[in-house]
Amino acid sequence: MITKIEDAIKESGEYLAGGTDYMDRLRHHLVNENAVDLNDLVGFNQIETANGKTHIGAMTTMLNVAQSPFIRDNYAGLADAAGGLATPQIRQVGTIGGNLTQATRCQYYRHPHLTCTKKGDATCGGRDGYHPYGVVFDNGGCVAPHPSSLGMALYAYNAEVEINGSEIRPISAIYGDGSDHHRDHLLGKNEIITKIILPAPTAEKATYFRSIARARAEWALVECTVRLILDGETIKQAFIAVGGVAAVPMRLPQVEAALAGKPAKEESFAEAAQLAAEGANPLPQTGYKVPLLVNTVEETLIRATG
């Protein structure tokens, strides 16, 4: 039984939290290490405030993040993302730390006989194969979008993560720019996310929305988290992140800049959302995601303001 983070990082193997991703990969013969069970760690499944900031233990379940009155009142975009992903059963056991570090959902990775750079192969089988759920911002290599909805939502909050109980890094440093096609995150072998740190709450309008192919238990084709800080009916500052479109979660600074100083009305949202696809270079089978991205951002902006 491992109760201290200091003991966990001394162990050799793959870290196991809720186990929802681990068990799936085990069934597909993608796990070749011993499991280091983190479920008995003490002090990493709580939501607390310290020095004005909010600390969420990495072992906190997605259900608790979604249902926490404090998170819902102050970080609605994160609560909505946690409550909208996966299934009720998975949200009950899956942890926020596990969601941030889960492996790609690409079928070429999950299938034992298909090629994938994340399994150590030289090429991405999906690039010249079947990829309608792939990226629309393509930087070469792996064509699978990053799977973490919570990672995307945390981009919109400029969140930080605590590693091994001490070191603090921005959430973007966990994923990098997506150019390393052999990894889903940049954590080292003996590095464990122990807490997520959110900035002090502020008065804002925020929400999360995903465009999906079916009503329940579906991975997002495109997803978006929006935060709007208003001065009356004028947008003072906007924070917009999207997922399902690139190898890592993305912020949309061009859309954020276009909204600043504009009235919080649908006309402003429609105009700014057109910039969401700026720089897109979709794959042969993902061109449909470009207008979907624009429409998803616009819809999320509308929903954020009620």
Q: Give the pLDDT confidence score for residue 214 in this predicted structure.
A: 79
- Do 136 and 220 sit in the same domain of this protein? no
- Do 80 and 162 sit in the same domain of this protein? yes
- Do 15 and 90 sit in the same domain of this protein? yes
Residues of the chain above pLDDT 90, percent: 89
Looking up tokens 């390393």, which residue turns up? Answer: 180
220-260 pLDDT per residue, tens: 999 999 999 999 999 999 999 999 999 999 999 999 999 99
- Do 220 and 146 sit in the same domain of this protein? no
- Residue 301 pLDDT exceeds 70: yes
Q: How far apart are the first and last CA of the chain?
A: 47
The type of residue at 192 is: I
Listed residues 182, 198, 214: the one ending a domain = 198
Length reported for the chain: 306
When pLDDT is averaged across residues 105-129 and rounded to a whole number, the result is 95
Cβ 239 vs Cβ 226: under 8 Å: yes
106-117 pLDDT per residue, tens: 999 999 899 999
Instruction: Find the domain containing 240 and state its range.
Output: 205-304
Average pLDDT score over the chain: 95
Domain at 291, CATH number: 3.30.390.50
Q: Give the pLDDT confidence score for residue 61 in this predicted structure.
A: 97
pLDDT: is 150 or 214 the higher one? 150
Domain at 14, CATH number: 3.30.465.10
Q: Give the pLDDT confidence score for residue 118 in this predicted structure.
A: 94
- Do 42 and 107 sit in the same domain of this protein? yes
Q: Give the pLDDT confidence score for residue 217 in this predicted structure.
A: 64
- Do 187 and 262 sit in the same domain of this protein? no
Listed residues 140, 167, 198: the one ending a domain = 198
Q: Residue 267 to residues 80, 198, 256, 264, 301: CA-CA distances in angstroms?
A: 25, 31, 15, 8, 11
- Element holding 35 (H helix, E strand): strand 35-37
146-198 pLDDT per residue, tens: 999 999 999 999 999 999 999 999 999 999 999 999 999 999 989 999 999 99
- Do 103 and 140 sit in the same domain of this protein? yes
Listed residues 151, 179, 198: the one ending a domain = 198
Phi then psi dihedrals of residue 141, to 5 deg: 70, -135
- Residue 29 pLDDT exceeds 90: no
The answer to pTM > 0.75 is yes
- Do 161 and 223 sit in the same domain of this protein? no
- Do 192 and 211 sit in the same domain of this protein? no
Distance CA 93, CA 14 (A): 18
Q: Give the pLDDT confidence score for residue 27 in this predicted structure.
A: 86
- Do 37 and 176 sit in the same domain of this protein? yes
- Residue 215 pLDDT exceeds 80: no
Instruction: Cite the DSSP H helix spans in 9-135.
Output: 20-27, 62-67, 69-74, 76-84, 88-93, 96-100, 107-110
- Do 84 and 214 sit in the same domain of this protein? no
When pLDDT is averaged across residues 133-153 and rounded to a whole number, the result is 96
The total number of structural domains in the chain stands at 2
- Do 120 and 36 sit in the same domain of this protein? yes
Give the pairing type, strands 53-57 and 47-50: antiparallel
